[in-house]
């Protein structure tokens, strides 16, 4: 007999979004449910209509089968689809997973309504019980529920089969920048309710304390029984029935015997409002009663009282214009793919909170329900995004009526599920799907159902950021040039808040000019923030031996961003897939193990809640840069870094400041009279335990220079010889290679994808040929002139080595021809003997910093082992640099070694790898550290920018042709 679900072929029918699936609702049924997670019997078929075999394996639920040694591996694409068919067609080879298990139906559920909930399945779900069809669902990132009451018997065992088809018409609108997986990726639950049950509960809680709770009631048996009623309480205080609502509905013909509606109301005096800084929550309990007063159903919610509105070109939360310091976040884990546990989600949000983020865009689909609970509790503004992205075929699909139901279905189900979360302040219609009638239809549904929140959609801006007729209340462009944003805000034509949905791309060594963005945002009315792309590097832990995902067995095989022995972080192409987009999936602010990249510290400082505004005669002026909170929850410590190597500390008493206020506090130290450079830092920490940070967690370190450096030229040492070889290269006992000119860096992802690396290779910067021109010797001094030839130009390089007291001064000059109008760096590179394993420096740190990403690295005295200076970006590239270095030492365990003093703050890097080593490697397991140190001293270093997807660095951070000078002194310790 033909299976009616298979006969329907729902994987090829975009008009069919569900069959037998229950309506979405906002009631959490996880409490008291029977969890069906664990190992299921599993078969992977080559196509949906292929026959089952007699051979079963096991697959863990929840989890993607692509990470469980099933033979079907993950595949990464960004824009293009992984198969060539046009929508709604799919390939004939369509992996289909069949999951089976027996389920014991509790005997105590007799007479109750029994519901199956499948948290998420990618991408089409077919449900059978005891061989009988139940229903179909699409939408890979929202739960599907099915009423099994007529298909199972309490006290007996039933066979549950879940069939998941990987490729479908729906795949064309789930073309998100992520790994393609297949499987059941969120928990499977079985729960029971009374036949008389709460079908939905919608909560409206306003800033003024007004609370409205709308309840929808159904009865599984048909008509509603007479006499039912609803009660509720908020933090133990009873709510009242809204009698005006009851009278209005008494004559409403739309209310049938099969659907009941009731409204509860209250006004909370002296209400504690919710916002991302002080996320105050109340406990709401709603009960459905039978006529005799007994409770038929209960629903519990956490309520935050807040208002969201747009006033002119400002987005307001509780009447305040708030900055959106956001990040885009996928559900991701390096072992389990899209399956993320509660503790992992909490760790994600805790980390973001500690680094100054206050907003999340759920790119590009509704995230796991637990994430919204955590955002409510910890305090995040959420842009909730529908599971719609048709990137490869966006224009064709946007107006395709075959996909109209899918667009409205996905947007409406998201809203129905998440409407009660105070953290959700904006609805998003999806991502990168052009703009068409289907978007307008979905927007119309949202505006009717939930007028309390604005909605946004980036694609709607195609006719202009100020167009009032499009389905976006916010101008939310993607990677718009900063100068364009500022010009729009100053044009007088702006009609909406401008909050970029993506504005800084965190691929590899990136996020340059982040400080420029925030300087503009905070000084330009009309600009209100944005979301960095993205939180995670989506590296999957892979066994090098067989090229397969490590799966759950890989737990513990990584730390500090580095995969353990025999493993590596896989990106596109590493699983043998022919169609892929390489390392573009590794574009996060954290490594796959959630270790923060250096760019996180940049953001932390730019989002600092308290800042040093300036230094006046009356003292240090501090400012409170929060929107709602005072400074009483913070503690501080002053730190004074002096050029002579000393660091002084003193406790700091933070003033009582309301948001936006400033106050002067006395300078905590008396500056020494020697006139050396001095930097004052305020270490700001939590003064008490916060839900997201224990007492003493550092949140920022604002800094101010109190005194500039004073140059002190080294005294010549007459008569001391300077030794160079026949090629004019310096000979020194601690150097294994002499200092030579370097214009090349191992290309960053931004360099490669932005086109700079291709240009540098064409110029021959990676293979400059040195030719000695002349050597001029005099007592205690040697002048060397050399030429470095590329393919299109010649760089004249002069070095002058002068013996000075205790060492050697090196004066260098490089003359770049006009052809080299934007090189990676200009400076010296040399290598040291082995054994110099500790770097101590006075400059910016302790983490990596670059010219256009240095706000988060305070000047001070720092020390790290050389092996910890390198940043292990998933694809090896330029990394490990420190900006603004004045001097450093490299020493062995016995404190011997070398010291370098620079004429002015310079970019310095010390690692175990040459630029050529990094350029040649695709993964870190291919790198072999050198025994000595590779040292770069840069007179100029190009900024990082975000050109892999977005604007390049600013002109101020590019290197012009012409003459560049730098001087440094080398001493032996």
Q: What residues are annotated to the active site?
A: 432, 502
The contacts of residue 480 (CB under 8 Å, 6+ apart) are 500, 503
Q: What span, in angstroms and rounded, lies between the C-alpha atoms of 416 and 449? A: 9
User: What H or E segment, with its residue span, contains residue 405?
Assistant: helix 404-418
Please give the C-alpha separations between residue 308 and each of 235, 452, 628, 722, in angstroms, as whole numbers.
23, 7, 15, 71
Q: What span, in angstroms and rounded, lies between the C-alpha atoms of 34 and 37? A: 9
CB of 856 closer than 8 Å to CB of 604: yes
Retrieve residue 426's tokens: 């904006």
Q: What b/e readout covers 393-404, taking b as 16+ CB neighbours within 10 angstroms?
A: bbeebbebeebb
Q: What span, in angstroms and rounded, lies between the C-alpha atoms of 586 and 877? A: 13
Q: What span, in angstroms and rounded, lies between the C-alpha atoms of 773 and 767? A: 19
Please give the C-alpha separations between residue 555 and each of 259, 333, 334, 592, 595, in angstroms, as whole numbers.
49, 11, 9, 12, 15
**CB neighbour class for 744 (10 Å; exposed up to 12, middle 13-18, buried from 19):** buried
781 CA to centre of own chain: 53
CB of 206 closer than 8 Å to CB of 49: no
CB of 818 closer than 8 Å to CB of 792: no
**Quick one: DSSP state of residue 859?**
E
| β-pair type (498-500, 838-844) | unpaired
User: What H or E segment, with its residue span, contains residue 454?
Assistant: none
Q: What b/e readout covers 270-288, taking b as 16+ CB neighbours within 10 angstroms?
A: ebebbbbbebebbebebbb
Among 943, 871, 866, residue whose Cα is nearest residue 911:
866
The dihedral sign for the CA sequence 949, 883, 588, 82: positive
Retrieve residue 26's tokens: 């906002």
Among 67, 527, 70, 37, residue whose Cα is nearest residue 313:
527
């Amino acid at each position: 007999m033909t299976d009616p679900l298979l006969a329907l072929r729902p994987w090829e029918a975009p008009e069919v979004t569900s069959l037998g699936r229950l309506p979405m609702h906002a009631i959490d049924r996880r409490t008291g449910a029977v969890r069906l997670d664990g190992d299921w019997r599993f078969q992977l078929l080559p196509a949906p209509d292929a026959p089952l075999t007699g051979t079963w394996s096991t697959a863990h639920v929840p989890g993607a089968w692509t990470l469980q040694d099933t033979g079907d591996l993950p595949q990464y694409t960004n824009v293009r689809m992984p198969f060539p068919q046009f929508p709604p067609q799919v390939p004939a080879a369509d992996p289909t997973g069949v999951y089976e298990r027996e389920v014991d139906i509790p005997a105590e559920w007799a007479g109750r309504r029994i519901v199956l909930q499948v948290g998420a399945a990618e991408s089409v779900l077919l449900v059978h019980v005891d061989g009988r069809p139940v229903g179909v669902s699409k939408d890979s990132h929202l739960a599907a529920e099915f009423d099994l009451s007529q298909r199972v018997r309490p006290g007996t065992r039933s066979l549950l089969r879940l069939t998941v088809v990987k490729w479908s018409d729906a795949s064309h609108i789930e073309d998100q920048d992520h790994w393609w997986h297949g499987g059941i990726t969120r928990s499977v639950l079985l729960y029971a309710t009374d036949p008389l049950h709460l079908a939905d509960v919608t909560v409206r809680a306003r800033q003024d304390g007004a609370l409205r709770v709308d309840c929808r009631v159904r009865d599984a048996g048909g008509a509603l029984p007479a006499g039912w009623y609803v009660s509720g309480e908020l933090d133990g205080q009873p709510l009242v029935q809204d009698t005006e609502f009851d009278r209005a509905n008494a004559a409403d013909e739309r209310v049938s015997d099969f659907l009941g509606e009731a409204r509860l109301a209250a006004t909370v005096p002296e209400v504690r409002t919710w916002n991302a800084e002080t996320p105050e929550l109340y406990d709401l309990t709603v009960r459905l009663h039978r006529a005799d007063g007994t409770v038929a159903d209960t629903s519990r919610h956490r309520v935050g009282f807040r208002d969201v509105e747009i006033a002119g070109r400002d987005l307001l939360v509780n009447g305040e214009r708030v900055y959106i310091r956001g990040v885009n976040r996928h559900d991701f884990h390096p072992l389990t793919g899209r399956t993320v546990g509660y503790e992992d989600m909490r760790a994600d949000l805790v980390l973001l909170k500690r680094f100054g983020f206050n907003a999340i865009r759920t790119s590009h689909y509704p995230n796991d329900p637990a994430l919204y609970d955590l955002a409510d509790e910890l305090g995040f503004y959420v842009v909730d995004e529908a599971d719609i992205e048709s990137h490869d075929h966006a224009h064709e699909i946007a107006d395709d009526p075959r996909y109209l139901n899918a667009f409205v279905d996905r947007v409406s189900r998201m809203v129905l599920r998440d409407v009660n979360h105070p953290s959700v302040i904006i609805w998003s219609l999806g991502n990168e799907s052009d703009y068409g009638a289907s978007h307008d239809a979905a927007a119309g549904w949202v505006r009717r159902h939930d007028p309390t929140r604005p909605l946004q959609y980036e694609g709607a801006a195609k006719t202009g950021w100020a167009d009032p007729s499009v389905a976006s209340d916010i101008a939310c462009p993607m990677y718009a040039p900063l100068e364009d944003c500022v010009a729009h805000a100053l044009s007088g034509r702006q009609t909406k808040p401008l909050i970029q949905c993506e504005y800084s791309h965190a691929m590899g060594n990136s996020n340059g000019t982040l400080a420029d963005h925030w300087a503009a945002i905070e000084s330009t009315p009309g600009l209100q923030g944005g979301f960095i792309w993205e939180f995670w590097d989506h590296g999957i832990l892979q066994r090098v031996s067989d090229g397969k995902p490590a799966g759950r067995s890989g737990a513990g095989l990584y730390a500090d961003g580095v995969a353990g022995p025999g493993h590596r972080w896989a990106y596109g192409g590493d699983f043998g897939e022919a169609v892929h987009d390489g390392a573009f999936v590794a574009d996060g602010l954290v490594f796959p193990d959630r270790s923060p990249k250096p760019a996180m510290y940049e953001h932390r400082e730019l989002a600092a809640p308290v800042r040093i505004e300036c230094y006046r005669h009356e003292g240090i002026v501090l400012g409170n840069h929060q929107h709602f909170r005072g400074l009483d929850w913070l503690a501080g410590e002053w730190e004074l870094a002096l050029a002579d190597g000393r660091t002084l500390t003193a406790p700091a008493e933070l003033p009582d400041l309301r948001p936006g206020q400033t106050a002067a506090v006395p300078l905590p130290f008396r500056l020494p009279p020697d006139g050396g450079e001095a930097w004052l830092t305020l270490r700001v920490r939590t003064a008490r335990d916060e839900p997201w940070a224990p007492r003493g967690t550092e949140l920022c370190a604002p800094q101010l220079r109190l005194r500039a450096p004073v140059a002190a030229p080294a005294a010549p040492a007459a008569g001391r010889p300077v030794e160079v070889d026949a090629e004019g290269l310096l000979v020194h006992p601690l150097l294994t290679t002499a200092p030579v000119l370097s214009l090349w860096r191992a290309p960053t992802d931004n360099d490669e994808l932005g086109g700079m690396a291709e240009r540098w290779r064409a110029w021959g910067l990676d293979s400059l040929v040195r030719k000695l021109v002349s050597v001029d010797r005099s007592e205690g001094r040697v002048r060397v002139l050399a030429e470095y030839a590329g393919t299109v130009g010649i760089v004249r390089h002069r070095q002058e080595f002068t013996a000075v007291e205790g060492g050697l001064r090196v004066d260098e000059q490089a003359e770049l021809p006009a052809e080299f109008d934007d090189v990676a760096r200009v400076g010296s590179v040399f290598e040291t003997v082995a054994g110099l394993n500790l770097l101590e420096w006075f400059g910016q740190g302790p983490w990596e910093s670059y010219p256009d990403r240095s706000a988060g690295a305070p000047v001070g005295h720092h020390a790290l082992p050389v092996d910890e200076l390198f940043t292990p970006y998933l694809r090896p590239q330029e990394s490990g640099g420190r900006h603004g270095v004045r001097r450093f030492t490299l020493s062995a365990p016995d404190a011997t070694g070398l010291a370098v003093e620079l004429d002015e703050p310079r970019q310095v890097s010390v690692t175990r790898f040459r630029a050529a080593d990094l350029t040649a490697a695709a993964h870190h397991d291919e790198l072999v550290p050198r025994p000595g140190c590779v040292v770069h001293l840069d007179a100029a270093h190009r900024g990082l920018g975000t050109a892999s997807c977005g604007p390049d660095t600013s002109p101020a951070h590019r290197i012009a042709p012409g003459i560049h000078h730098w001087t440094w002194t080398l001493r032996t310790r």
